[in-house]
């Protein structure tokens, strides 16, 4: 797995603090509250607001 | 809601630590092991605990915590330095150490997630160190520890002179704290300071500039050297600088570091 389970268990959105979930393509981590998707680069989650894209749903 | 570090400040930090990723990592991973061991000893991790190293750089502190805890997480804003950290973790066989690219002022963790939050030699790079400490206090559990170490302006140095030298060398340097100011700031974040220790490390100006990415003869090198040399008389910087007795033109000085462990009540 690109991102370890240990990290997935504790990572939240830095903006609204909602736990993030890995996207279907496993290339990002999505916040269900603000719909931001944080990219995963070189297997490292990029939890920065201005690097996230906002998905419509 | 916590605000991220200013974009300007983040850009300055990234520029500095991308440009110097290799020389900086190699320097701190070889010379700051004792510092990391001291902070680990003071934080007294137990086997089942989870630790966060904020602004972890190449993992200097996280690598010392990892063998003593269940899980260690290193967070940094600069991808190039995280690549160094990951290589160091692989070399050390630290399979319980994980990395996140993130901002120290808006941590991507829920309140009370960690048993220990540590931060070594990084508060001076943050736009707002007091806000960062409040953020550390948020993500540590009640009864958990925040363990921070950073340079301080040693007496009789002046805050302005010391920081002018640091900023001449490194545009990502925000402020070195005064020795009294640092524990007060930790307490103001809602933490209870349980132990403070001070260390003094001898440094060579040439080596210090090299770690900053500057060579003899370059404008930044010469401008910083002039300021350091001007501070020799009366030790106005608190660096206790002395001209080398050989003809190398080097300046020997001292870096004073304050280590603080505080509990979240």
Question: B91 pLDDT exceeds 50?
Answer: yes
The pLDDT of residue B1: 46
**Residue range B84-98: average pLDDT?**
97
Cβ-based contacts of B79 with chain A (< 8 Å): 41-42, 44, 46
CB nearest A45 (choices: B96, B101, B111): B101
Tens-digit pLDDT profile for residues B29-58: 988 999 999 999 999 999 999 999 999 999
- Residue B256: which of B172, B170, B176, B147 has the closest Cα? B176
Average pLDDT, chain B: 95
Beta bridge partners of B105: none
Q: What is the pTM for the complete model shown?
A: 0.95
Give the burial class of B110: count Cβ atoms within 10 A of its Cβ; 0-12 exposed, 13-18 middle, 19 or more buried: middle
**Residue range B94-101: average pLDDT?**
98
Q: What does the block give as tokens for B112?
A: 């009370």
> Residue A56 — very low, low, confident or very high, per pLDDT cuts 50/70/90?
confident
Tens-digit pLDDT profile for residues B150-188: 999 999 999 999 999 999 999 999 999 999 999 999 999
The pLDDT of residue B135: 97
Q: Which domains does chain A have, with CATH numbers?
A: 5-54 (2.20.25.10)
- Residue B109: which of A15, A5, A36 has the closest Cα? A15
Q: What CATH superfamily classification does B2-154+172-202+255-263 receive?
A: Vaccinia Virus protein VP39 (3.40.50.150)
| Chain B residues within 8 angstroms (CB to CB) of chain A | 1-2, 4, 7, 50, 71, 73, 77, 79, 82-83, 86, 96, 98-103, 106-111, 113
**Residue range A18-44: average pLDDT?**
96
Q: At what angle do helices B129-139 and B181-188 cross, to 10 degrees?
A: 50
Cβ–Cβ below 8 Å for B7 and A19 = no
> How far, in Å, CA of B157 to CA of B39, rounded?
25
The pLDDT of residue B247: 86
Which is more confidently placed, B2 or B133?
A: B133
**Residue range B3-15: average pLDDT?**
86
> Residue A31 — very low, low, confident or very high, per pLDDT cuts 50/70/90?
very high
Cβ-based contacts of A42 with chain B (< 8 Å): 79, 83
Tens-digit pLDDT profile for residues B201-228: 999 999 999 999 999 999 999 999 999 9
The pLDDT of residue A57: 64
> How far, in Å, CA of A32 to CA of B203, rounded?
50
Domain boundaries of chain B, sorted by first residue: 2-154+172-202+255-263
Q: What does the block give as tokens for B88?
A: 């160091």
Cβ–Cβ below 8 Å for A14 and B98 = no
| 1-57 in chain A: CB under 8 A from chain B | 4, 6-7, 10-15, 17, 19-20, 38, 41-42, 44-50
């Amino acid at each position: 797995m690109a991102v370890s389970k240990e990290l997935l268990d504790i990572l939240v959105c830095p903006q609204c603090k909602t736990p993030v979930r890995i996207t279907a393509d496993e290339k990002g981590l999505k916040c269900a509250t603000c719909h931001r998707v944080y990219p995963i680069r070189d297997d490292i989650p990029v939890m920065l607001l201005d690097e996230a894209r906002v998905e419509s749903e | 809601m916590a605000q991220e570090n200013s974009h300007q400040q983040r850009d300055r930090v990234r520029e500095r630590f991308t440009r110097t990723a290799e020389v900086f990592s190699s320097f701190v991973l070889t010379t700051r092991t004792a510092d990391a061991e001291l902070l680990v000893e003071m934080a007294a991790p137990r086997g089942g605990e989870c630790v966060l190293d904020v602004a972890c750089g190449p993992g200097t502190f996280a690598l010392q915590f990892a063998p003593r805890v269940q899980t260690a997480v290193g967070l940094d804003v600069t991808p190039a330095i995280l690549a160094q950290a990951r290589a160091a973790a692989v070399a050390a066989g630290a399979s319980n150490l994980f990395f996140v690219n993130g901002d120290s002022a808006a941590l991507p963790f829920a309140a009370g997630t960690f048993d220990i939050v540590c931060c070594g030699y990084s508060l001076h790079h943050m736009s707002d160190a007091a806000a960062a400490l409040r953020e550390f206090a948020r993500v540590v559990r009640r009864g958990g520890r925040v363990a921070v170490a950073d340079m301080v302006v040693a007496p009789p140095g002046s805050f302005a002179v010391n920081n002018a030298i640091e900023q001449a060398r490194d545009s990502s340097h925000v402020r070195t704290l005064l020795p009294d100011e640092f524990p007060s700031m930790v307490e103001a974040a809602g933490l209870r300071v349980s132990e403070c220790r001070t260390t003094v490390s001898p440094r060579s100006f040439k080596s210090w500039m090299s770690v900053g990415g500057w060579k003899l003869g370059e404008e930044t090198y010469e401008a910083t050297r002039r300021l350091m040399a001007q501070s020799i008389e009366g030790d106005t910087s608190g660096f206790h600088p002395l001209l080398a007795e050989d003809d190398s033109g080097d300046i020997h000085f001292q870096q004073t570091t304050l280590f603080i462990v505080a509990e979240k009540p």
